[in-house]
């Protein structure tokens, strides 16, 4: 996120949070809790997933117009565990982006950043 929005990714948490907010970004995990056998998303035990309360989040942040998912697991989990419980007023368009995790070794860090920039800027220009 630091590379995408030009702030120091090693800055203290409050500074990074402030930089994201100034850039118009809200950062929130799809899952509030889950159990997994390892650190890999593929090892998440589906029956253990507890989704974050997006209905309340969207009600408190009505200016949100787009969702970007950091990886396929975040996107599929949102569609499976969150989207069915939302009303049509909370049907915000979403776009899956390549995971920034080092486990996503198909792309270099630079390729991931470039893809994120290109897709986000393209979507924002069209909107």
Residue located via tokens 């998440």: 44
CATH of 2-126, one of 3.40.470.10, 2.30.30.110, 3.40.50.2300, 3.30.300.30: 3.40.470.10
- The per-residue pLDDT for range 40-91, each reduced to its tens digit, is 888 999 999 999 999 999 999 888 888 999 999 999 999 999 999 998 888 8
The phi and psi torsions of 67 (rounded to 5 degrees) equal -120, 135
Supply φ then ψ for residue 105, to 5 degrees: -90, 0
Tens digit of each residue's pLDDT (9 = 90 or more) over 21-44: 888 888 889 999 999 999 888 899
pLDDT the model gives residue 27:
86
Domain boundaries, the chain: 2-126
Q: What are phi and psi of 92, to 5 degrees?
A: -90, 130
Q: What is the pTM of this model?
A: 0.83
Q: Categorize the per-residue pLDDT at 100 as very low, low, confident or very high, splitting at 50, 70 and 90.
A: confident
From the centroid of its chain, how far is CA 34? Answer: 17
């Amino acid at each position: 996120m630091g590379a995408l929005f030009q702030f120091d990714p090693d800055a203290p948490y409050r500074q990074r949070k402030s930089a994201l907010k100034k850039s118009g970004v809200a950062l929130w995990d799809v899952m509030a809790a889950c159990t997994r056998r390892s650190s890999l998303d593929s090892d998440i035990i589906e029956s253990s997933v507890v989704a974050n309360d997006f209905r309340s989040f969207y009600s408190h942040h009505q200016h949100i117009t787009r969702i970007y998912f950091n990886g396929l697991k975040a996107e599929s989990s949102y569609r499976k565990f969150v989207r069915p419980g939302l009303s049509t007023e909370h049907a915000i368009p979403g776009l899956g982006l390549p995971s920034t995790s080092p486990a996503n070794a198909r792309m270099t860090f630079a390729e991931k950043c470039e893809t994120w920039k290109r897709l986000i800027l393209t979507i924002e220009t069209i909107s």
